[in-house]
Structure formats: structure tokens, C-alpha cells
Amino acid sequence: MENKQFKQYLSKAMYWCSKSEKAVGDVLLKLKEWDVPESYHESIIEKLKEENFLNDERYANAFANDKFKFNKWGKGKIKYTLQTKQVSDDAIWTALNHIDKNEYREVALQLMKDKMRQTKEPDFYKLKQKVYRFMASRGFESGMVFDLWEEIEH
């Protein structure tokens, strides 16, 4: 009986994973939501990996690409979010390294300029603080933001 139940849960998980890329953390949350016994979790995850329904590298690349291109997230926010989804560090670093450096820099520069235009702050020092906080909330590295400020000011 228990083997039949396991196969039903596995089949449901396979179907769910086949619709879009998922991370281990996503699957674990879904298994809990479906009230799947915890004793099945590890076996289901392993089987999903074996059958290539779960693939950290594939997921991390798709996630990083989408969050950067569509949401304009920086590498810090992408990395943190992937870590919370239990994606391996190797897959995270590979995905972050696939982001084009020039495009990354240009997106950050444009975000900074847009934020400066939108922010109604007459005091330049306070404006700079607001832009820094905004860029940090988007996950962009402070060193790069400092460098871009130098470019904007000159």
C-alpha cells in the first residue's frame, strides 16, 4: 500500500515539475502543502533528480537570467534567493557568471539614472543615499555602485 502511495506522490510531483523549472526548495514546500509524509521527501527529490525533472544548473541559469532581464535584479539578490531555494553553490556561481558583465553594468547604470530622475530630493547627499539603498535592495554590489557614481558625477 505504501509503495503505491509513494508512486502517486512521485507522479504528482513529476507532473508539477514538468510544467516549469523547479528548485529543491520549491518541491519540498509543495510536498508539505500536499501533506506528503516527510519520510517520502528525500526519496521523491532523489527520483526527480535521477529522472532530470530537477536540475540545479538548469534551474539556476533560467532563474538568474529571468530575474536579471525582466526584474532587473542584481547578483546579490539572485544569489540569496537561489540559496533560499536550496540550489547548490556551484550552480549558483555558474548561473551568475553567465550574466553578461557589460549588460549587467549597463542595467545598473540605467537603474541608478532612473532612480535619480524619479527621486525628488534637492540635497545631493540624501539623493545619493536613497539611490545607494535602492541599488542595495535590488542586489547590486556596493563596489560597482560606487564606481558607477564616479562615472555619473564626471
In tens, the pLDDT along 17-56 reads 999 999 999 999 999 999 999 999 999 999 999 999 999 9
pLDDT for 1 = 42
Helix, strand, coil percentages for the chain (3-state, nearest 5)? 80, 0, 20
Tell whether 93 and 109 lie within a shared domain: no
Instruction: Encode pLDDT of 69-117 as tens digits.
Output: 999 999 999 999 999 999 999 999 999 999 999 999 999 999 999 999 9
Domain membership of residue 15 as a residue range:
2-54
Task: Look at residue 9 and tell me whether its pLDDT is greater than 50.
Answer: yes
Shared domain check, 6 and 50: yes
Output the pLDDT for position 154: 67
Q: What is the dihedral of CA 121, 127, 133, 135, to 10 degrees?
A: 110
Go through 22-61 and write b for each residue having 16 or more CB atoms within 10 A of its CB, e for each that does not: bbbebbbeebeeeebeeebbeebbebbeeeebbbbeebbb
Nearest to 99 by CA among 72, 130, 131: 72
Alpha-carbon span 103 to 107, nearest angstrom: 6
Determine the pLDDT at residue 153: 77
The pLDDT, as a whole number, for residue 86 is: 94
Residue 21 CA to its chain's centroid (Å): 12
Give the number of domains in the chain. Answer: 3
Rounded distance between C-alpha atoms, residue 23 and residue 53, angstroms: 10
Whole-Å CA distances, 91 to 62, 73, 74, 114: 11, 18, 17, 32
Supply the pTM of this predicted model: 0.89
Task: Based on the fold, state whether residues 107 and 148 are members of the same structural domain.
Answer: yes
Q: Do 41 and 84 share a domain, yes or no?
A: no
Please give the angle made by the CA atoms of 126, 131 and 133, to the nearest 5 degrees: 95
Confidence (pLDDT) at 152: 83
Q: Identify whether residues 48 and 63 lie together within a single domain.
A: no
